[in-house]
A and B are shown apart, each in its own frame.
Chain A
């Protein structure tokens, strides 16, 4: 079965540093997402991406965050200047449609900001 792949699986960084989290969505999917999950808390939506642009974003997705699809396969999340509270598991997801279509999640990147 096709899957969403994410790299790295773990990332440790110093506060104030920039990080880039990488994702390869399922190849025939058109909608891409980033979610995060702080330890012990719920899965929170960050941003969705369709047709090479952001389609929706949450209040969490402020100016320190950006997303990019640099080529036909990769989808990246950049955090410009990390804060301690950015420590979380970041999940990339993709779907063939929106709304009623199920999300396929990657295995996540555990980000630890020290």
Chain B
């Protein structure tokens, strides 16, 4: 089985940087996804990491350490529109390949 843990809620100021952490335990690993979900809307893909290290994509970066079962999503130059839930999802391997989602971190960006 899988266990995914993220903080429930975070707040940050417009223009600042915020790091959202995700720790996971899984019997097989085939990558970790981050999705963004605005209230009442569908999740949308942000990033995918399968190797250790940092992947940068504009204002958003995602980091993975497989040995520590740890990932973070880094959001720079925060904008009000970044207020959303950020979902960490782990793809297993061997048997099931279906990503399992964490509970999500609700990020509130204030002026």
A residues lining the B interface (CB < 8 Å): 33, 35, 41-45, 48, 56, 91, 98-100, 102-108
Contacts and interface: CB of A to CB of B under 8 A. Distances in A.
A100 B44 contact: no
Q: Is the interface of B mostly helix, strand, loop or mixed?
A: loop
A45 B91 contact: no
Q: Is the interface of A mostly helix, strand, loop or mixed?
A: loop
B91 A103 contact: no
A99 B102 contact: no
A100 B30 contact: yes
Interface string B73-111: 000000000000001010101001111111110000000
Contact of A107 (B42, B97, B102): B42
B102 A42 contact: yes
Contact of B44 (A43, A56, A105, A108): A105
B48 A102 contact: yes
Of B37, B42, B99, most A-chain CB atoms within 10 Å:
B42
Closest 10 CB pairs of A and B: A105-B42, A99-B97, A102-B45, A43-B101, A42-B103, A98-B97, A99-B30, A100-B31, A107-B42, A105-B43
B91 A99 contact: yes
